[in-house]
Structure 1
Amino acid sequence: MKKITMVLSGLFLATSLWAQTPAEKLIKRLKKIQKRGVMIGHQDDPVYGTTWKWDKQRSDVKELVGSYPAVMGFDLGEIELENGKNLDGVTFDRMRSEIVDQYLRGGVVTLSWHPHNPVNGKTAWNTEGNAVRQVLRGGSEHRKFEGWLRLVANFINSLQTPDGVKVPVIFRPWHEMSGGWFWWGNTHCTAEEYKSLFTFTYHKLSGEYKCDNIVWAYSPNAGYDDFMKYYPGDEYVDVLGVDVYEFDQDNAKYAAALKTSLDEIAVIAAQHNKIAALTETGYQEVKDPNWFTQTFWPVLRDYKLSYVLFWRNAWDSVKEHYLPAKGEAAAPDFVKFAKEKKTLFVNDIAKIKK
């Protein structure tokens, strides 16, 4: 009887391990990596930089520190229009390829989505037309929105290795809702409407379309009056994040805002058993040559976060520049920051498996 029990237990364990979804495996791995330090990420890292675009095997980060970032961010904006390229000119075929490559080298991927205003067809920053209300059930754009979600699901389900393994991604829809600059922002819908938008997206992608490779992230922007005001519920969220930027060259103000935000999400993440992250950040144009070691790291090092995602280095926009490139004034400081024991790049996490 004891032998039979042991066999059955082994079969149950093997079945349980086999039954884990790609998303569940990534969550488990994120928690394991977090014990070692904080992963450093960069938006659109392998597709363009401050002085180049569309080259293969390039990265502003790798050219500085010898490793790709641990986390790469990409955006799905304009996939809803069935365009071949996203809002920043990255083709979805290239994006898919880079996502798979990042997974195969042991890295992590996060996706954001800046969809156009469904009411008037203008960008995500156009806030006219009560768009959230109109995409929900009973709204004039509900059918259109369902089609958009099908396109998103098709892309996420297509993220597979050559062997057919689905690549898990951290998906962060409807971010910065506590600001008013997107059509899903705080002055353009009620908290209940926002929650319905988030949960409807969840049920469509993870439920109807079986996107079992999505780890779901919720992230207001700094300056919110209530972090949980728009929170859709524990069953819909795996990662709690916040977006904090320095736009006005005031290091003390940024450090204070960062500390205030991280103090709160650290507590809330622990209470709700969620992963905590700094889902977007950076110093616009990187004007302080010592910002990473003297402003950013002195705050960040006191928190157990999963990852931090620095925003993009755009070749066609001076302002969209958040990490130094080789030869720039802040480059030596970033290299010093990267050598900290607890800042992790893809070479540091590749052997930390699920």
Structure 2
Amino acid sequence: MAKANTSRFEVAPELINPRASEGAKRLMRYLCSIYGKRMLTGQQIGVVSTPEFEMIHRVTGKYPAVGGFDFMNYSPSRVERGAECRDTDLAIDWWNRGGIVTFCWHWNAPKDLIDLPPDRTWGSGFYTKATTFDVQRAMSDQDSEEYRLLIRDIDAISDQLKRLQDEGVPVLWRPLHEASGGWFWWGAKGPEPCIALWKLMYERMTHVHGLNNLIWVWNGQHKDWYPGDAYVDIIGEDIYPPAQDYGSQAERFRMAESYTAARKIIALTENGVVPDPDRMLADDCPWAWNCTWYGSFVFTGEGDERVYSEEYTDAEQLVKTYAHPFTVTLDELPNLKD
């Protein structure tokens, strides 16, 4: 097996929060110890039904090392419209099975949802097209209703993160993802208000709520949106290549490395197709983990008729990836609790 150039991937296991929990420090030490040498397999679960983990196991005989979850339906503007969420409970269960937890947040805009079917409904309220909420106005006026609602929402999600902290769960925390694309409201007004919002979230979650179980994964996907080394633990890229394109995505890996002169772990925080481990090694771009998106990227059909979908990653390739000596599956993880 080819080996990555380890000198480039020697990252100090230090977190930006000086009061980080022992669990967060332990997870970061582990990530740094394998970075450049092995990649954690990962899988996002669906928002409503969650067959992804079992579907992966059915095909490969193994479970992913990293479970991906979403705080979307804990957003107050969704809760007040009847949305329910149990991802916090599912994440605690996953941690207790020995897995690693990562969370994103499809943050429904706090107000000003357009709510026009079919694709601008309140259920799509994290998209720029489905809200007139102005993040620039919110961040430029701390006396505004918009700013107060941002604080309300951050506090609501902090309550969920506190539940995880109380259960000893460290979280690879990936908020405000894909901001530079502009398709989410937090990125609709350019880098400045989004960076300000990132820093506000960090300061409030860390210093007001005392959340020390978080490893901050920045996923802005453009150097102009980078909030600075003091606010980022890990850099993530989300990549959706054409179906069955098993390339290493080396160009995006190099781009992520260029965002800062500091050495940061680089992860494939969302993917459609699972990249080929041999190509990653050959191209010297050993993503720290991958996290395949849910639904049609994994299965097709309904209920008991669900079967693995080979549209994006065929079964043979998936089996190869999960059995490869470069990748880590759930059964190979060390005990990260103590």
TM range, smaller chain: 0.7 to 0.9
Question: Does residue 346 in structure 1 map to residue 330 in structure 2?
Answer: yes
From 156, 159, 163, give the equivalent of 1:154.
159
From 273, 294, 302, give the equivalent of 2:263.
273
SS in 2 for 1:159: helix
Question: CA deviation digits over 1:64-83, x for unaligned, max 9?
Answer: 22222111111111312275
Superposition pairs of residues 294-305 of structure 1, within 5 angstroms: 296-301=276-281, 302-305=284-287
From 257, 269, 288, give the equivalent of 1:306.
288
d(CA) in 1 for partners of 2:206, 2:32: 21
Residue 125 of structure 1 is matched in structure 2 by 127
Give the unaligned 5+ runs of structure 2.
1-18, 114-121
| Post-superposition offset of 1:298 | 4.4
| Post-superposition offset of 1:250 | 8.2
* 2:195–2:226 Cα contact (<8 Å) kept: yes
d(CA) in 1 for partners of 2:243, 2:299: 18
Alpha-carbon distance change, 133 to 318 in structure 1, aligned in 2, over 3 angstroms: farther
d(CA) in 2 for partners of 1:117, 1:167: 27
Give the unaligned 5+ runs of structure 1.
1-17, 222-226, 284-291
* 2:55–2:298 Cα contact (<8 Å) kept: no
Give the TM-score normalised by structure 2: 0.77
SS in 2 for 1:170: strand
Alpha-carbon distance change, 277 to 328 in structure 1, aligned in 2, over 3 angstroms: closer
Alpha-carbon distance change, 300 to 116 in structure 1, aligned in 2, over 3 angstroms: same
From 55, 58, 64, give the equivalent of 1:63.
58
Residue 189 of structure 1 is matched in structure 2 by 189
- Cα RMSD of the aligned pairs, angstroms, is 3.4
d(CA) in 2 for partners of 1:263, 1:169: 25
* 1:45–1:73 Cα contact (<8 Å) kept: no
Residue 149 of structure 1 aligns with an amino acid whose one-letter code is I
Question: CA deviation digits over 1:81-128, x for unaligned, max 9?
Answer: 2756999x7x533x2232122222322111111112234134111345
| Post-superposition offset of 1:183 | 0.8
Residue 179 of structure 1 is matched in structure 2 by 181
From 224, 248, 253, give the equivalent of 1:262.
253
Residue 5 of structure 1 is matched in structure 2 by none
Alpha-carbon distance change, 339 to 179 in structure 1, aligned in 2, over 3 angstroms: same
Residue 208 of structure 2 is matched in structure 1 by 208
SS in 1 for 2:157: helix
d(CA) in 2 for partners of 1:265, 1:312: 24
Question: Does residue 233 in structure 1 map to residue 228 in structure 2?
Answer: yes
Residue 135 of structure 2 aligns with an amino acid whose one-letter code is V
d(CA) in 1 for partners of 2:78, 2:133: 25
Residue 152 of structure 2 aligns with an amino acid whose one-letter code is G
* 2:72–2:108 Cα contact (<8 Å) kept: yes
* 1:22–1:168 Cα contact (<8 Å) kept: yes
* 2:170–2:215 Cα contact (<8 Å) kept: yes
SS in 2 for 1:273: coil
Alpha-carbon distance change, 174 to 331 in structure 1, aligned in 2, over 3 angstroms: same
Alpha-carbon distance change, 282 to 100 in structure 1, aligned in 2, over 3 angstroms: same
From 85, 91, 102, give the equivalent of 1:92.
85
Residue 109 of structure 1 is matched in structure 2 by 101
SS in 2 for 1:210: coil
Residue 180 of structure 1 aligns with an amino acid whose one-letter code is G
d(CA) in 2 for partners of 1:156, 1:111: 10
Give the TM-score normalised by structure 1: 0.73
Aligned length: 299
Alpha-carbon distance change, 180 to 19 in structure 1, aligned in 2, over 3 angstroms: closer
User: Computing the radius of gyration over CA atoms, which structure comes out larger, 1 or 2?
Assistant: 1
Superposition pairs of residues 11-30 of structure 1, within 5 angstroms: 20-30=21-31
Question: CA deviation digits over 1:139-198, x for unaligned, max 9?
Answer: 4311111111111000000015xxx5421101111111111211122xx21322111010
Question: Does residue 337 in structure 1 map to residue 311 in structure 2?
Answer: no
